[in-house]
Amino acid sequence: MADDLKIRRLLVSFLALWYEVSQKQLALRTGRSEPGISQLLKRGVPSEDLLDQLLGAIPHRPAAVPLVAACLEGLAALDHNGDLTEDELLRIEEAAQAAARLAREVLTEEARLSRAGSREIKELCVDLCERSAQAASQDVEAAAVLARLAREVADRLGGTEGLRLQGFADAFGASVLRVTGALPEADAAIEEAESRWQAGTDADSVLDPGRLLDLKASLRRAQRRFDEALKLLDQAVEVGRSPERALIKKGFTLEVMGEYGRAVETLLEAEPLVLRRDDPRLLYMLRFNLAVNASHLGRYAEATELVQQARELAIRLGDQIFLSRITWMEGRVAGGLGRSDEARRLLAEARQGFASRGMTYDVALALLEEAVILLSEGQPEEVKTLSGELAAVFGSKGVHREALAALRLFQEAVEDQTATADLARCVLRYLFRARHDQGLPFTNS
């Protein structure tokens, strides 16, 4: 109760300051004395009626009151969470701020939608869909919200035009289901999306006909239906408006299949198209994926240059997850070039970054990279200490059953002092492929 009363007083003080309303003006507009207003704003507690009277004396936009109140309530919440660490509180506040930004964006788009025409509705839907796709790798809940909003926008358009737009939006909803691992549900959703798309029309050609194809290909890849995925991506290259994106996805599919040489060839085919488009996010994906495949092929000098280019792009984009993955890749490359001290430092830094964001699969990859170096140098005791961090991985939902079995096998070998660098490399190679091919069985060979 005390917090609520304090928030009321501070709400009036902040809005008066923001809208440049003096205490003298407040006194004149409310019929109160200036000293009385001063006393109230310093230590007093306005009643509901007085609060309404004071706010009425301050010209403000209606949304200002809930926005400022939310900020003040957030500050109050910090004082009531003494059992949380500063890092935990910071993550909570960052998540809350991100949610608030998304909510404002959603409401803003809804307001604009009320006066939009057919083409504007389509363009808004497409924008929300692409933002959902971009968010999916980092914040699946935000991706789901954006996909649902895109479908609601599509529902505003009637007839066959609306039907095709609904199919377009539904494909992105299916993509969110795929990312969460709900593959049967994603399969049903993509089929429904395709049915609506085919039954609909797009008279002003706003929608990219290749987008549904490459989203379906991503699902087929997750289902281990690789041949179908590659065919769909080839179709997307032919009919889509972003053949470079389809080629990057094809390169990634080949990487998941372990076809690293073919993956490099495909990514190099995409390179001139990506450069022509001048999209820093696509260029980052191209450079980083080329670096990963080059490292798999043992071409570490080539990977060094590529990962440096990817770092510059990640800095430009301001993406901290990208930067952590760059650090991990730099450590992997340094290890491949025999610079073990540098490699261990970089891998440990990346592992800590991944752990702070709950990216347990990435933690496991970085840890196995370090284990390969330590076992190659005859330091099994350090590996034993390092493997203790696998406990957090085992307790996570971010690592599937087959991968956990491979990691347990490695940990048992470490405990029994039978772990070798070859075993660590074997598990590491498996983890790379199994991340996006969860039906792949582990074999110790």
Cα–Cα distance measured from residue 351 to residue 329, given in angstroms and rounded to the nearest whole number: 11
Residue owning tokens 């507009």: 29
pLDDT in the model for residue 268: 97
Percent of the chain with pLDDT over 90: 47
pLDDT in the model for residue 329: 95
Largest CA distance in the chain: 86
pLDDT in the model for residue 380: 85
More confident residue, 404 or 80: 404
pLDDT in the model for residue 324: 92
Between 27-41, 143-157, 228-242, the lowest mean confidence (pLDDT) is in 27-41
**Does the pLDDT of residue 356 top 90, yes or no?**
no
Residue ranges of domains in the chain: 2-76, 116-207, 319-445
Alpha-carbon Rg of the chain, whole angstroms? Answer: 27
Q: What is the mean pLDDT of residues 432-438?
A: 82
**Does the pLDDT of residue 245 top 80, yes or no?**
yes
Residue 316 sits at φ, ψ, to 5 deg, of -60, -40
| CA nearest neighbour of 128 among 177, 160, 181, 165 | 165
CA angle 312, 133, 329 (to 5 degrees): 35
Cα–Cα distance measured from residue 235 to residue 7, given in angstroms and rounded to the nearest whole number: 58
pLDDT in the model for residue 15: 77
Cα–Cα distance measured from residue 299 to residue 331, given in angstroms and rounded to the nearest whole number: 14
Q: What is the mean pLDDT of residues 228-234?
A: 97
Name the helix (H) or strand (E) containing 115.
none
Q: Which range has the top average pLDDT, 136-150, 240-254, 316-330?
A: 240-254
**Does the pLDDT of residue 220 top 90, yes or no?**
yes
pLDDT in the model for residue 1: 38
Note the pLDDT tens digit of each residue in 133-192.
998 877 888 888 899 989 989 998 989 999 999 999 999 999 999 988 889 999 999 999
**Does the pLDDT of residue 234 top 80, yes or no?**
yes
Q: What is the mean pLDDT of the chain?
A: 84
pLDDT in the model for residue 265: 97
pLDDT in the model for residue 311: 95
pLDDT in the model for residue 349: 94
Q: What is the mean pLDDT of residues 231-248?
A: 97
**Does the pLDDT of residue 98 top 60, yes or no?**
no
pLDDT in the model for residue 113: 54
**Does the pLDDT of residue 335 top 70, yes or no?**
yes
Q: Which range has the top average pLDDT, 53-67, 136-150, 217-231?
A: 217-231
Cα–Cα distance measured from residue 333 to residue 307, given in angstroms and rounded to the nearest whole number: 9
More confident residue, 429 or 7: 429
Tokens of 388: 């203790």
Q: What is the mean pLDDT of residues 303-317?
A: 94
Percent of the chain with pLDDT over 70: 83
Torsion angle of alpha carbons 128, 129, 131, 133, nearest 10°? 160
- List alpha helices for 200-225, DSSP H: 209-222
Between 117-121, 123-127, 206-210, 296-300, the lowest mean confidence (pLDDT) is in 117-121
Note the pLDDT tens digit of each residue in 369-409.
999 999 999 888 888 888 777 777 776 666 778 888 888 88
CA distances from 58 to 18, 25, 73, 263 (A): 10, 9, 21, 62
Cα–Cα distance measured from residue 368 to residue 275, given in angstroms and rounded to the nearest whole number: 34
| CA nearest neighbour of 168 among 194, 186, 205 | 194
pLDDT in the model for residue 257: 92
- Residue 296, amino acid: H
Tokens of 315: 């800095």
CA angle 217, 222, 224 (to 5 degrees): 95
Q: What is the mean pLDDT of residues 327-352?
A: 94
pLDDT in the model for residue 2: 45
pLDDT in the model for residue 291: 97
pLDDT in the model for residue 110: 52
- The verdict on pTM exceeding 0.75 is no
| CA nearest neighbour of 423 among 382, 383, 381, 363 | 383
pLDDT in the model for residue 32: 82
At 115, the pLDDT band (50, 70, 90 cuts) reads very low
Note the pLDDT tens digit of each residue in 257-280.
999 999 999 999 999 999 999 899
Q: What is the DSSP letter of 359?
A: -
